[in-house]
Amino acid sequence: MGKTLRVGDVDDAVSGLTAVRTVLNSQLEDVERLIVSFHEKHAQRDEELTLEECESMRSGVLSALASVQEILSWIRELAETDPEGNLLVNVQALPRISIPRRS
């Protein structure tokens, strides 16, 4: 394999992206509450946000969460291993990405 990410870089990246994912999950919960509230009020004309705007926000947050998952997958793929070829414990829990290998 080509380049790898050093242990310190992996730790920093995982910590940072985990924090971003936590914030995005919180934002997603907020947007979901807005949508439920919107439905409960049955689309009054004087609402500050439209249902379409709420759904657009949800799509944006979901897209960002998907991007974070993909980056975490790449970190796992590029992470440095120990001399026996094992991944660090904090990297083992990261999602996997399927990468076709060239022959």
Q: DSSP for the chain?
A: ----B-HHHHHHHHHHHHHHHHHHHHHHHHHHHHHHHHHHHT--TT-SS-HHHHHHHHHHHHHHHHHHHHHHHHHHHHB-B-TTSPBPHHHHTSPP---PPP-
Question: Does some domain include residue 1?
Answer: no
11 or 99, which is more confident: 11
Closest CA to 20 of 90, 59, 91, 70: 70
Q: Supply the mean pLDDT for the chain.
A: 82
When pLDDT is cut at 50, 70 and 90, the band that residue 95 belongs to is: confident
Domain of 11, in residue numbers: 7-89
In a domain, 102, yes or no: no
pLDDT at 40: 75
Contacts of 80 (CB under 8 A, 6+ apart): 4, 5, 6, 7, 10, 88
pLDDT at 12 > cutoff 80 = yes
Amino acid symbol at 18: T
Inside any domain, residue 72: yes
d(CA 29, CA 41): 18
Q: Can you give the pLDDT at residue 39?
A: 74
Counting residues of the chain whose pLDDT is more than 70, the rounded percentage is: 86
| pLDDT score of 64 more than 80 | yes
Q: Residue 22: is its pLDDT beyond 90?
A: yes
Q: Report pLDDT for 17.
A: 92
Is residue 63 assigned to a domain? Answer: yes
CA 44 to CA 51: how far, in whole Å? 10
* pTM, to two decimals: 0.70
- Whether residue 63 is predicted with pLDDT greater than 90 in this model: the reply is yes
Question: Is 53 part of any domain?
Answer: yes
Question: How many structural domains compose the chain?
Answer: 1
